[in-house]
Amino acid sequence: MTLKQQLSSLTKPLLLACVLSGSATALFAADAVSEAEQVKSIPLEEIRLFTEVFERIKNSYVEPVDDAELLESAVRGMLAGLDPHSAYLEADAFSDLQSHTSGEFGGLGIEVGMENGFIRVIAPIDDTPAYRAGVKAGDLIIKLGDQSVQGMELGDAVKLMRGKPGSELLLTVVREGQDKPLEIMVVRDVIRVASVKQRMLDDGIGYLRITQFQVNTGKDLLKAIERLQDESDLRGLVLDLRNNPGGVLRAAVEVSDSFIDQGLIVYTQGRVENSELRYNATTKTLVDSSLPLVVLINQGSASASEIVAGALQDHARAIVMGVDSFGKGSVQTILPLTKKRALKLTTARYYTPNGRSIQAQGIVPDIYVADANISLKESGNYLKERDLSGHLENGPEDVDTDAQLRTSLAEKDFQLYEAFNLLKALSIIKPFAAVEQPEMESAVQ
């Protein structure tokens, strides 16, 4: 008996077994549905086609192919054909995913995805080899070393990026605005990601940077805010989510909850019952709801970053500033299999509290501010009162540290500079708004 005949003889009982194991609840709940009708819903013609292709490859491929290897390749192809984020995780990939969410892993330090057969950089992670080498969000990687990535599976590309710390990898990238591909040499290292960073800008304006949403990001944010509050009386906060590729959903909920004291944060919708989840805020906010907040996003802000930005925007808790985010609004569920393997399967979509889908749309900022390199004009040799002979003095002259900060921010990070200016304006206007205005006498008699 040929392999095709053997597989064909197994098709009917195999299909029935699939129906019984995958839809047991439906079968017991609807006794009126016949077994024949259940089997009819299985694509028999496509199953026969699969067995025929399997046999042709076994018998005619130029080299012998192991059955298990061939079937695993079929599984990979089946998942790769769904969307860019569903994947078959072998033991190494499954282990890498677990260490990625814990905040320590080996590699270059970039979050990547597939696009038209090439590798698209979603975002470089702060203070990693790729970030320091100049890799940017949106770069299209066309070669890893001397190997073209066109047609390569994402998992295989990731394996090439990983390697011994200290070893080099030449990335060939296509970047928008550049006439020809760029070559960027990156030195591999063990990547240890600090999830939350903080510093005080000036005038009570605090700065919080979340590089990636990890298991402990919520706790790290609490510590960072406490440090800022110990350092100064806060008049405003910048929450920087630029080039943050996302991470753990629960961490995104905890961060949002830190600024929102009630209402919906995010909800998911999918086909299976347990994919429909709703996450609500609690009263455990870390800062007063009246404290002005600006959230910075860009094209490298994805997934969990978009959940936070969308929630704060819908609740009118923050002003979102920057450029449109990446637009990854799908939920991936890890489904463990045998032999330490797993499926990473897209099972639902994210929605903001107002019902906006993030998928392929992203978060549109309230105030659009593109990243820019600016050069400050010379003020010129204008004559001022202090230049006049015999002018009256005005006491000890203070160094304008605020002006120095403005100049530094404007030149190094224009988007942060604009966020800082907005928060300063809000903190100036707020005291006047709080003053009770005198009651005006009506002109209508």
What residues pair up with 236 in beta bridges, in sequence order? Answer: 205
Residue whose C-alpha is closest to residue 428's, from 390, 395, 402: 402
* Interatomic CA distance for residues 186 and 73, integer angstroms: 31
Q: How far is CA 339 from the centre of its chain?
A: 29
CB atoms within 10 A of CB 281: 21
Residue whose C-alpha is closest to residue 279's, from 256, 258, 248: 256
What's the angle, vertex CA 166, arms to CA 135 and CA 145, rounded to 5? 55
CB 243 within 8 A of CB 300: yes
Q: How far is CA 386 from the centre of its chain?
A: 53
Q: State residue 75 phi and psi, 5-degree precision.
A: -65, -45
| Tokens 């944010």 found at | 221
* Interatomic CA distance for residues 113 and 296, integer angstroms: 22
> Residue 227: CB partners within 8 Å, gap ≥ 6?
198
Of the residues 136, 328, 344, 424, only one is catalytic, namely: 328
In the residue annotation, 303 being an active-site residue is answered as: yes
Sign of CA dihedral 127, 132, 135, 137: positive
Of the residues 86, 256, 301, 303, only one is catalytic, namely: 303
Of the residues 86, 195, 314, 325, only one is catalytic, namely: 314
In the residue annotation, 328 being an active-site residue is answered as: yes
* Interatomic CA distance for residues 199 and 189, integer angstroms: 26
> How many Å from the N-terminal Cα to the C-terminal Cα in the chain?
104
| Tokens 């991470």 found at | 247
The catalytic residues are 303, 314, 328
